[in-house]
Structure formats: structure tokens, C-alpha cells
Amino acid sequence: MTKKGLTIAILNLMPTKEATANQLTELVTAGNEQVEVLLLYPESHYENKVLPDLLARDYFPFSLIKERVVDGVIVTGAPVEQLAFDQVDYWPELCETLSVIREKDIPILAICWGAQAALYHYYQIDKLTLRNKVVGVFDHQLRVKNHPIFKHLSASFKAPHSRYTTVDQTQVLTHPDLVNVADSTEAGLYLVTNRSGRETFVFGHAEYERDTLNLEYQRDLVSDSEAPFPQGYYPNNQVDLEPIKTWASHGRSLFGQWIHSLAGIYTVS
């Protein structure tokens, strides 16, 4: 059971604010009215700009983390992965927020670029640009069967990826405080935690809806007629056929186990 009054903050950095918030909120609440979700935005990104109505109505600034008691924080991906971290206009604010999260000992689940940013800030493991975008739905294997938080993940599962960058796998695998929980032969690292279990890094997108990769692909085709084709996504690789959400049960399992772990974090042996 999720403890009463659980509060989850979501640092939503995605351009598809509403869709991303809906996807993550559905997964972390799973119909439980006792889970409160706080949506946060980076103030520095909107400096000298008019704050969009959606953010003004439904969001709080990152600085709320300093004031509110929250049980967990999710950091989303962001469309800035081809920039150096220090070229992102809200990078100093995000670093300050990540530091506060660690200082306050708040469990964090960081996704895609958010995972790369957190891994860099906490462990100085930089991101690397890929020759070709990794995009599609890939097979994954569980590498730590007795992980105290994610022990109920299937031994093998499918999950989406959509990114132009990765992290140095060797640095992750040899770091004494990091644990490779699950990965993909084709897509690389997928789920990494630190040994305390309070920091979780997910390099794919288990939160994606059935049509998210299709919307991204159609968007990419507008600017690049040879945009990378999403592997393992469309039935028979035919874009006119409706994709099947083969990762649905994994997404529920991943986020459900993380939420339930917030009542008590354990050490990975």
C-alpha cells in the first residue's frame, strides 16, 4: 500500500507538457487518490517571457522543492540533449534543484535526458552523442534479479527509447555506487540505480503512450525526410498500421514499484 499523503513532484521539461504530465500522473497515481502530484517548471527558462497559461495555472517553480515536503521527484526528458549541459539556459537552476533533492534525501527517478543530466551532476559521467538516433521499442533483460525496489520486473520486457545521446556505459558499470538493473543489447543502458536505491536513472520512456513515438516520428519527418525509423514499433514496419503498446505492463510495473518503494528505501547488496 502507498502510504497516506504521498506527494510526488514532477519536473516537467518536455515540450509536450500536457501529454507528459498526463502520462506520468496516471502511472504514479494508478487511481490512488492519496497520491498528490506537483508539477514544476524551470523559472529561468521563462525569464523575460510571458509564462504560458498552462504553467501559470497548473505548475509551480522548481524552487518549491526547497519549501515543500515531497516523497519523491521525477525529472523528465527534454529536447536539449544535443546541447552541452552548460548551454541549456536552465542548467544552473536544475543543478541547484538536483543538489537540494540530494541534500534533503528525496528519492529521484530521472528519465532520458533528465537521467543523463542527473548522472552527470551527481557522478560526473558525461553524455555522448550517438552516430544515429536510438528510437523504437527494444527488448531488455533484467540484470539484477534480487533488486529490492525493482525485484518484480520481468526477466525480459520491451520498452521505448528516443534519444540522440547516451552515457559512457563503462563508467557506469565500473562505478562503485551504481547498479545496472536492466539493459538492452540494441539500445544500451536502460535502468540504473545507486546502491542506496534513492537515485533511479531510466534512459528509455516507459511512460510513453501508444502513439507517442509515431507523433515524434511524424514531427521529425517534417524537418528531415530521412529521419530515423522507429525500430520494433509499427506492426510489420508499416506506418499505416496502429502500433501496439507492448510496454504497457512494464511501465505500470516500473513506476508502481518505485512508488511503493518510497515508504522504505533499502540498500542494494
- The beta-strand segments (E) located in the chain are 7-11, 36-41, 59-61, 72-75, 108-111, 127-142, 156-167, 178-184, 188-194, 199-202
- Catalytic site residue from 93, 112, 199, 209: 112
**Alpha carbons 13 and 113: distance in angstroms, whole number:** 9
Residues 151 and 141: their CA atoms lie apart, in Å, by 13
DSSP 217: H
Residue 112 a catalytic site member: yes
What is the chain's length? 269
Do 45 and 89 form a contact (C-beta atoms < 8 A)? yes
The one catalytic residue in 81, 93, 199, 207 is 207
Contact by Cβ (8 Å): 197, 265: yes
Catalytic one of 147, 161, 175, 205 = 205
Query: What 3-state class would DSSP assign to 102?
Result: helix
Give the three cell numbers for residue 160: 521505448
Q: Report CA Rg, the chain.
A: 18
> Which cell numbers hold the place of 212?
507517442
Cell reading at 68: 515543500
Cα 243 to its chain centre, rounded Å, is 22
> Active site includes 95?
no
- In angstroms, the CA 35 to CA 2 distance is 8
Q: The cell 524537418 sits on which residue?
A: 223
Residue partners of 54: CB distance under 8 A and separation at least 6: 17, 18
- Known catalytic residues are 112, 205, 207
